[in-house]
Chains A and B, each alone.
Chain A
Amino acid sequence: MSDPQTAPASRERTGIRLGLWARGPSRWHIALTVVFLALLSVAPLWVEASGRGYLVTVLTRVVIFGLAAMSLDFVMGYGGMVSLGHATFLGAGAYTAGALTYHSLDGSRLLGIPGTDQALVTWPLATVVGALLGLVIGGLSLRTKGVYFIMATLAFNQMIYFLFNALEIYGGDDGVGLFAASRAIGPLDASDDIVFFYVCFAVLVVFTVILNLVVRAPFGRVVRGCRSNMARMAALGYQTYRYRLAAFALSAAITSLAGAMAVTESQFLSPSFAEWTESGELLIMVIVGGLGSLIGGVIGAGALFLLEELSIDITDNWQFFVGIGLLAIVLGAPRGLTGTLLGGRRSHD
């Protein structure tokens, strides 16, 4: 049979240095990623030109929640860690950015620090908070296995959710509007929805590249090996816990960034970001899009939001159609939309 892994050494030198250029089956997966991102990049211009400009914010949400779903796919599809608690990090990012924004509008201080609505401050800070929270939650949850891991992540999710509910200063369970906040991203004023879309899209592209590199790098191989057979990884000499924890924290950090972006987008902070059904929705996006493909998370987010837009005119109970769609996929195309588009091809090296 043909061997994609033993390309002659000469091609190593002529290939693109960055390393995203993959050989063999992986090439199709990267082609799909590029094509989908290209389509997404022109989508706002197209909806604007066709007189449905209100859809631009929907596309922005596809990008933001797609980023979160992609980072969930990283731990789930590649690392085999099924997290039913990723809304924890979405919420943590939202509350980090939202609280800073709230205090900047209010003129008050948060733990002695003045607030700010500058995304170049709130977004990176949310990313760091997400990483730290991921280390704590992952550190404890990864001591369990299988269904207990799922339950542990869910338990933390509930704790964080009720913590946010109890924060009366940010409106408790009602949340708080931040409509007076600017959408300043460095010197750029992104209050225009199209401009804001492209800012979010740029972030998505950066992390798509990073995660695609990571899953092919030595670190990614270890993470994938742990999904496949953890006991054997230990027998090869790997301290599996620390690699899985690092992967979980990386995913938490990116999801938290998405949470911060989401609150800047909606200009409304509420505990619903951290509701466990949000964790479920991210899971649905990943499974619809295709587990273990990265871009599948974004495709899944697109499919879900599109379905919502299409069916909301017909019925308020649009979730009914999501259910039908999800059943069709798990029964008919278990590798999701990505797997269907790529045929049986493997999505990584």
Chain B
Amino acid sequence: MTELSCRGLQKAFGGLVVTDDLALSVASGEIHALIGPNGAGKTTALAQLSGELRPDAGTVWLDDADITELSLPQRVHAGVARSYQISSVFRDFTARENVELALQAMDRHSFRFFRPAARNAARAERAGGLLDAVGLGEVAGSSAHRLSHGQTRQLEIAMAMASDPQVLLLDEPMAGMAPDEATRLAELIRSLAETVAVLLVEHDMDVVFSVADRISVLHQGSLIASGDPDQIRADPDVHRLYLRDDVES
């Protein structure tokens, strides 16, 4: 059982407050969705949880450990991994090499100069396993730039899973996906969440309301509501500020 949480998170860019006294938590076994209109500060919040962005104030905890001072790579090693809204796989590597590179990051160091990386059979096998798990087993040898958009999103997940994280921060994993691809990815995320804590930033409300155990709504950097899908659906503030007619009961 692992829990990632933050308290009193504060971040401003110049005069613009993008995160305002934010408190959140996500525990293994649950999917916690973070929603809100464009510019609400979802991605900024995610970046502070992942370690890419330093908060001006506040604390990030992994269980009882204060990880606020840890950098992005250090947090990955501590068990917090993330994926990106804009796919950022290594385009001139094959799908397998992408996952192998992610696996290799978990070695104590990569100052290994002579033995070819491609000859690590154990790593190749683990990469194959991860690719199978996300449904990319058949295209393992394809260059990443030949993959479809949906496949690239799946590859993102496989790479994030390579560090064997306890917490997974997913930034709009379904963005730009065809509906059937999105459904499959939702199932995958659902199955990952059996063991991992998943914080999901997502625009597709159908997906959010079908997979999330908990939903938090951000507006102008602060939380205006948090609760299970039914509570959020019924919340008048959320309706007024964000959902409007998006979600029919």
Contacts and interface: CB of A to CB of B under 8 A. Distances in A.
A174 B113 CA distance: 41
A100 to B, nearest CB: 29
A216 B91 CA distance: 17
Interface stretch (B6-14, B92-100, B222-230): B92-100
B114 A237 contact: no
B170 interface: no
Given A225-B101, A237-B76, A216 B116 contact: yes
A5 B91 contact: no
Contacts of A225: 90, 93, 101
B57 interface: no
Using C-beta atoms within 8 Å of the partner chain, give the interface range for chain A: 35 or more
A6 interface: yes
A12 interface: yes
Contacts of A238: 73, 105, 110
Nearest to A20: B116
Interface stretch (A51-59, A157-165, A199-207, A227-235): A227-235
Given A3-B140, A6-B141, A232-B90, A237 B117 contact: no
B141 A2 contact: yes
A349 interface: yes
Contact of B163 (A19, A23, A237, A240): A237
B159 interface: yes
Contacts of B100: 221
B104 interface: yes
Given A19-B119, A235-B84, A218 B141 contact: no
A9 interface: yes
B88 interface: yes
Name the prevailing secondary structure of the B interface residues. loop
B109 to A, nearest CB: 9
A229 B90 CA distance: 7
B148 to A, nearest CB: 14
A229 B88 contact: yes
B121 A236 contact: no
A236 B115 contact: no
A237 B119 contact: no
A306 B111 CA distance: 38
B63 to A, nearest CB: 19
Interface in B133-169: 140-142, 146, 159, 162-163
Contacts of A349: 97, 116-118
B188 interface: no
B50 interface: yes
Interface string A214-251: 10111111101100110111111111100100100000
Given A5-B141, A6-B141, A12-B121, A235 B114 contact: no
Contact of A221 (B101, B141, B162): B101
Contact of A6 (B82, B96, B114, B119): B96
B104 A218 contact: yes
Interface of B: 50, 52, 71-73, 76-77, 81-82, 84, 88-94, 96-97, 100-102, 104-107, 110-121, 124, 140-142, 146, 159, 162-163
26 contacts: A5-B118, A6-B141, A9-B121, A12-B119, A19-B115, A22-B116, A23-B118, A213-B114, A214-B113, A214-B114, A216-B118, A217-B114, A217-B115, A218-B112, A219-B111, A221-B110, A225-B101, A228-B90, A228-B93, A232-B90, A235-B52, A236-B76, A236-B101, A236-B102, A237-B76, A237-B106
